[in-house]
A and B are shown apart, each in its own frame.
Chain A
Amino acid sequence: MSFVSVTDVFQSYDDRPILERVNVTVQEGEFISIVGASGCGKSTFLRILLAQENPTRGEVRIAGAAPAQEPGLDRGVVFQKYSVFPHMTVRDNVIAGECLRRPWGRFFGAQSQAAKDRANETLARIGLDHVATNYPATLSGGMQQRLAIGQALAAKPRVLLLDEPFGALDPGTRLAMHDFLQDLRAQTGMTVFMVTHDLEEAFKLGDRVLVFDKPRWDPDDPSRFGATITYDFDARDGGIPFQRLEEDTHVLEEH
């Protein structure tokens, strides 16, 4: 039984199809990169995974549970920006990952202290312990995204959804974030979906790379058909899709 199953998903806005006939199954612990041209529905697909939108047809099931109607604890998310709460300190943002589910959205008494200790551990792990009492606006873009990932993981979701999480970062920070994400993944064995524009990033981080594109194209009416998954690459092998080369060539050396 696959962990995440997407069955026959269609999505259209005002009768304009965006996605059509999307089917994919994902095993627990897989890292799925999602790429495609702008406007090909990959962000729509992520919103459907997140249950922020419900598809017009088809369904998404996580761990066999009924399809979700709205975002919930089983799905964690990190957006390109605005992912952390600007009015909470860095530590409170991590604590929010645990306490927002409480009736009043906060911990009291001994629980509060325990949550603070756990948050300090998390902050040490993601390298933000020195700015625990700062507000997010004082952090760099990379630190904010690390915080956003730490916050999402503090809630212990079943799958983590990343919507171009490193899109706004400079190349150096982006590489550091790749290492950070790979380390975290090695520790947690998380199932991850990541939408990205960066093909290299997609193949470097992903176990599989899903490509969204329109299989049918009407030159007179480009919005007539929706997009679907046109390629499903196996990217585990140093980002070389499908085939393993039998002989050693220097083509591989860059990776």
Chain B
Amino acid sequence: MRWINRKPGRPLAFFLMALPFLLVLIAYSVASDARRAVNPADKLLPAPAQIAQTAQRVATQPDRRSGQIVFWKDTGASLQRLALGVAIGAAIGLTFGLSIGLFPHLHAGLNSFVAVLSMIPPLAVLPILFIIFGLGEVSKVALIAIGITPFLIRDLAARTSELPFEQIVKAQTLGASSVVIALRVALPQIMPRLIQAVRLALGPAWLFLIAAEAIAAENGLGYRIFLVRRYLAMDVILTYVIWITLLAFLIDWALRQTSRRFYPWAEDGL
């Protein structure tokens, strides 16, 4: 039987799914053991047990000076920046994407402009944002929004213009105005696409968030990683990296569930 026609059973599929994670964990442990066998005080590859211990410490013990648990404060600050930046980007992306995809005049006027805008590397704009908005929250939120908006606009404009023209014509024969077509025909069908596009944009959004925090911030997950780098605190860095990965995964999962829950008709084949 050809391999393309063989399918793993449920237990095997689960094992295969877990396998790469296990392999990475084992490779890390072996490397860590080897380094610490030579130098017990090695800081580069702390033992998994030590990372777990550190994770527990940073997540539960309050900071001696401020009395707050820094870990949760960082998480809250970063998630707030991310949520604001992504929400603003999504709102602008949806509004402009839908309009550009639907109205030929806006398409003629804005399509090339957005295409050029999307070529600007957002991190190159960061100094400008710092100069204009200062080093506070606004510049970080703005970087995330600026970073993902052109992509969202272009993607949603393309998705909107991909709507079958039959539907648009049909809506017109039912007496729908341009506004009604935008709100009742195009918008609901674009919403699951927006969620999909936001899921894709979350990667860059995290990148911009951590970059902005690394450069100038007083708290935040990215700020913390770059701060403890000075002390070679790999256990803390790894704890934060694992935590960020987990958060990103959970947000992605939540968005997927939202899409399934609210737009069941958009699921493939239903």
Tell me if A85 and B264 are in contact (CB < 8 A).
no
Tell me if A83 and B170 are in contact (CB < 8 A).
yes
Residues of B within 8 A of A136 (CB): 265
Q: How many whole Å from B238's CB to the nearest CB in chain A?
A: 44
Residues from 172 to 231 in B contacting A, C-beta threshold 8 Å: 172-177, 179-180, 183-185, 188-189
> Is A25 interfacial (CB 8 A cutoff)?
no
Q: A86-B265, A100-B184, A135-B270 are in contact. Are A72 and B189 (CB under 8 A)?
A: no
Tell me if B164 and A82 are in contact (CB < 8 A).
yes
Tell me if B170 and A79 are in contact (CB < 8 A).
yes
Q: A82-B167, A135-B264 are in contact. Are A100 and B174 (CB under 8 A)?
A: yes
Kindly identify which residue among A50, A73, A148 contacts B169, using a CB–CB cutoff of 8 Å: A50
Q: How many whole Å from A224's CB to the nearest CB in chain B?
A: 29
A30 to B126 alpha-carbon distance, docked (Å)? 68
Q: How many whole Å from A125's CB to the nearest CB in chain B?
A: 18
> Is A97 interfacial (CB 8 A cutoff)?
yes
Residues of B within 8 A of A104 (CB): 180, 183
Q: How many whole Å from B67's CB to the nearest CB in chain A?
A: 51
Kindly identify which residue among A72, A84, A138 contacts B173, using a CB–CB cutoff of 8 Å: A72
Residues of A within 8 A of B179 (CB): 105
Q: Which residue of B lies closest to A97 (CB)?
A: B174
Residues from 145 to 167 in A contacting B, C-beta threshold 8 Å: 148, 151-152, 155, 157
Main secondary structure of the interface of A (DSSP, over half): loop
> Is A52 interfacial (CB 8 A cutoff)?
yes
Tell me if A138 and B270 are in contact (CB < 8 A).
yes
Q: Determine the interface band of chain A, counting residues with CB < 8 A from chain B.
A: 35 or more
Tell me if B188 and A87 are in contact (CB < 8 A).
yes
Tell me if A50 and B173 are in contact (CB < 8 A).
yes
Q: A86-B265, A87-B263, A105-B184 are in contact. Are A71 and B173 (CB under 8 A)?
A: yes
> Is A137 interfacial (CB 8 A cutoff)?
yes
Residues of B within 8 A of A155 (CB): 173-175
> Is A106 interfacial (CB 8 A cutoff)?
yes
Interface centre among B164, B172, B270 (most CB of A within 10 A): B172
> Is A76 interfacial (CB 8 A cutoff)?
yes
> Is A14 interfacial (CB 8 A cutoff)?
no
A216 to B173 alpha-carbon distance, docked (Å)? 35
Residues of B within 8 A of A105 (CB): 176-177, 179-180, 183-184
> Is A208 interfacial (CB 8 A cutoff)?
no
> Is B171 interfacial (CB 8 A cutoff)?
yes
A152 to B173 alpha-carbon distance, docked (Å)? 8
> Is A60 interfacial (CB 8 A cutoff)?
no
Tell me if B175 and A101 are in contact (CB < 8 A).
yes
> Is A77 interfacial (CB 8 A cutoff)?
yes
26 A-B residue pairings within 8 Å (CB atoms): A50-B173, A52-B169, A71-B169, A71-B172, A71-B173, A72-B173, A72-B175, A73-B175, A79-B170, A81-B166, A83-B166, A85-B167, A87-B188, A87-B189, A87-B263, A96-B184, A100-B174, A100-B176, A101-B174, A101-B175, A106-B184, A135-B264, A135-B270, A151-B174, A152-B170, A155-B175
Which B residues fall within an 8 A CB radius of A? 164, 166-167, 169-177, 179-180, 183-185, 188-189, 263-266, 269-270
The 3 closest A-B pairs by CB, nearest first: A101-B175, A105-B180, A82-B164
